[in-house]
Amino acid sequence: MPTLPWTVPNTPPTGTEVHVFASRFETRSRWGALKFFLRTPGVWRQVSRAPGAYGATLKAQPLKRTFWTLSAWESPQALKTFARSGTHAPTSRGLAPLMRDAKFATWTARSDELPLDWAEAARRLS
């Protein structure tokens, strides 16, 4: 799967602060990577309709068993609501035992900095 392009479900107001979330997942096996890969479209559809989502992208290297997400949200609460609902909630619970490693980073940015840069996400996840 190539990198999914930055998708903008909701246009943020100009000049506002946004909540940024980045993640890096490494699965224990190629089977885990396949399961992650197969469940991605459902979660991606949820992101594309999520209230408070200002943008998201995903980078996948399934043969290396590694996946990254990068997203911008109206607030930490908007992200929390997304993560605990819809397809994402059961998917994340189901995939958790298949993970070898997971890293997360959050920070704030200005809406005029969107779309976000993968290099900054990688630096913060290191």
CATH number at residue 93: 3.30.70.100
Profile the chain (126 residues) by mean pLDDT over runs of 10 residues: 89 97 97 94 96 97 95 98 97 96 98 95 96
* Rounded Cα gap, residues 85 and 119, in angstroms: 29
Question: What pLDDT does 2 receive?
Answer: 73
Q: How many domains does the chain have?
A: 1
pLDDT for res 1: 57
Q: What is the domain extent for residue 27?
A: 4-125
CA pair distance 53, 74, nearest whole angstrom: 6
Cα angle 77, 68, 108 (rounded to 5 degrees) comes to 40
- The burial class, CB within 10 Å (0-12 / 13-18 / 19+), for 98 is middle
